[in-house]
Amino acid sequence: MALTNEPATPATFSATVVDPQLTITNQMTDTNGGPLAGGDAVESVVRIQNTGNASATNTVVAVALTNLQNPTSVRINGLAASPDLVSATGNTLTVRVGTGANGSNGGSIAPGEVVLLT
Protein backbone atom coordinates (compact mmCIF):
# COMPACT_ATOMS: atom_id res chain seq x y z
CA MET A 1 0.00 0.00 0.00
CA ALA A 2 1.29 3.43 -0.86
CA LEU A 3 0.13 6.63 0.82
CA THR A 4 0.82 10.05 -0.61
CA ASN A 5 0.92 13.42 1.10
CA GLU A 6 -0.44 15.47 -1.78
CA PRO A 7 -3.50 17.58 -0.97
CA ALA A 8 -5.00 16.87 -4.41
CA THR A 9 -4.77 13.13 -3.82
CA PRO A 10 -6.37 12.14 -0.51
CA ALA A 11 -4.91 9.09 1.16
CA THR A 12 -7.10 6.04 0.96
CA PHE A 13 -7.15 2.94 3.03
CA SER A 14 -9.24 -0.19 2.92
CA ALA A 15 -9.47 -2.99 5.42
CA THR A 16 -11.23 -6.32 5.43
CA VAL A 17 -12.72 -7.20 8.79
CA VAL A 18 -12.36 -10.86 9.65
CA ASP A 19 -14.75 -12.02 12.30
CA PRO A 20 -15.16 -15.63 13.41
CA GLN A 21 -18.43 -16.12 15.29
CA LEU A 22 -19.13 -19.35 17.16
CA THR A 23 -22.72 -20.35 17.88
CA ILE A 24 -22.90 -23.09 20.50
CA THR A 25 -26.00 -25.04 21.50
CA ASN A 26 -26.38 -27.92 23.95
CA GLN A 27 -29.27 -30.36 23.54
CA MET A 28 -29.85 -32.85 26.34
CA THR A 29 -31.86 -36.05 25.88
CA ASP A 30 -33.04 -38.63 28.39
CA THR A 31 -31.41 -41.86 27.15
CA ASN A 32 -34.23 -43.92 28.69
CA GLY A 33 -36.91 -41.94 26.83
CA GLY A 34 -39.84 -40.15 28.41
CA PRO A 35 -39.69 -37.19 30.77
CA LEU A 36 -36.59 -36.57 32.82
CA ALA A 37 -36.60 -37.93 36.33
CA GLY A 38 -34.00 -38.03 39.09
CA GLY A 39 -31.30 -40.58 38.37
CA ASP A 40 -31.92 -40.71 34.60
CA ALA A 41 -28.94 -40.93 32.27
CA VAL A 42 -28.77 -37.92 29.95
CA GLU A 43 -26.92 -37.60 26.66
CA SER A 44 -25.61 -34.17 25.75
CA VAL A 45 -25.07 -33.06 22.13
CA VAL A 46 -23.07 -29.85 21.84
CA ARG A 47 -23.21 -28.20 18.40
CA ILE A 48 -20.52 -25.65 17.55
CA GLN A 49 -20.90 -23.70 14.31
CA ASN A 50 -18.71 -20.93 12.96
CA THR A 51 -21.20 -18.45 11.49
CA GLY A 52 -18.54 -15.79 10.91
CA ASN A 53 -16.44 -14.95 7.87
CA ALA A 54 -13.08 -16.18 9.18
CA SER A 55 -11.71 -19.31 10.79
CA ALA A 56 -11.92 -19.57 14.57
CA THR A 57 -8.48 -20.59 15.81
CA ASN A 58 -7.25 -22.29 18.98
CA THR A 59 -10.84 -23.39 19.64
CA VAL A 60 -11.48 -24.83 23.10
CA VAL A 61 -15.01 -25.52 24.36
CA ALA A 62 -15.89 -25.87 28.06
CA VAL A 63 -19.27 -27.35 28.92
CA ALA A 64 -20.76 -27.46 32.43
CA LEU A 65 -22.48 -30.80 32.98
CA THR A 66 -24.11 -31.96 36.20
CA ASN A 67 -22.85 -35.31 37.42
CA LEU A 68 -20.35 -35.88 34.62
CA GLN A 69 -19.86 -39.65 34.52
CA ASN A 70 -17.57 -40.67 31.68
CA PRO A 71 -15.44 -37.99 29.98
CA THR A 72 -13.58 -40.70 28.06
CA SER A 73 -16.74 -41.45 26.05
CA VAL A 74 -16.69 -38.07 24.24
CA ARG A 75 -17.09 -38.21 20.47
CA ILE A 76 -16.16 -35.42 18.05
CA ASN A 77 -18.19 -35.55 14.82
CA GLY A 78 -19.06 -39.16 15.58
CA LEU A 79 -15.50 -40.35 16.19
CA ALA A 80 -14.03 -41.24 19.58
CA ALA A 81 -12.08 -38.23 20.85
CA SER A 82 -8.39 -38.74 21.49
CA PRO A 83 -7.88 -38.67 25.28
CA ASP A 84 -5.44 -35.76 24.98
CA LEU A 85 -8.21 -33.55 23.51
CA VAL A 86 -10.57 -34.00 26.48
CA SER A 87 -10.23 -33.09 30.13
CA ALA A 88 -12.69 -32.90 32.99
CA THR A 89 -12.47 -30.89 36.18
CA GLY A 90 -15.40 -31.26 38.53
CA ASN A 91 -18.48 -31.01 36.33
CA THR A 92 -16.76 -29.07 33.54
CA LEU A 93 -15.81 -30.90 30.38
CA THR A 94 -13.15 -29.16 28.28
CA VAL A 95 -12.59 -30.26 24.68
CA ARG A 96 -10.03 -28.96 22.19
CA VAL A 97 -11.76 -29.06 18.78
CA GLY A 98 -11.13 -28.18 15.16
CA THR A 99 -8.57 -29.03 12.51
CA GLY A 100 -5.13 -29.34 14.06
CA ALA A 101 -6.35 -29.63 17.68
CA ASN A 102 -3.87 -31.38 19.94
CA GLY A 103 -3.24 -32.00 23.62
CA SER A 104 -2.11 -28.41 24.18
CA ASN A 105 -4.15 -26.27 21.78
CA GLY A 106 -7.52 -26.11 20.13
CA GLY A 107 -7.75 -26.27 16.36
CA SER A 108 -9.33 -24.24 13.60
CA ILE A 109 -13.03 -24.19 12.66
CA ALA A 110 -13.65 -22.78 9.18
CA PRO A 111 -16.56 -20.45 8.32
CA GLY A 112 -19.74 -22.52 8.02
CA GLU A 113 -18.15 -25.58 9.63
CA VAL A 114 -20.08 -27.48 12.30
CA VAL A 115 -18.49 -29.61 15.05
CA LEU A 116 -20.64 -31.98 17.11
CA LEU A 117 -19.65 -33.22 20.55
CA THR A 118 -21.54 -36.16 22.02
14 lies in some domain: no
56 lies in some domain: yes
Residue 47: strand, helix, or coil: strand
9 lies in some domain: no
Q: For residue 94, what is the DSSP state? A: E
CA dist 62 and 2 (Å) reads: 45
**Containing structural domain, residue 41:** 22-117
37 lies in some domain: yes
Number of structural domains (the chain) is 1
Q: What is the pLDDT of residue 76?
A: 95
pLDDT in tens, 48-76: 999 999 999 999 999 887 776 777 789 99
- Reported pTM: 0.80
CA dist 46 and 26 (Å) reads: 4
Q: What is the pLDDT of residue 6?
A: 62
93 lies in some domain: yes
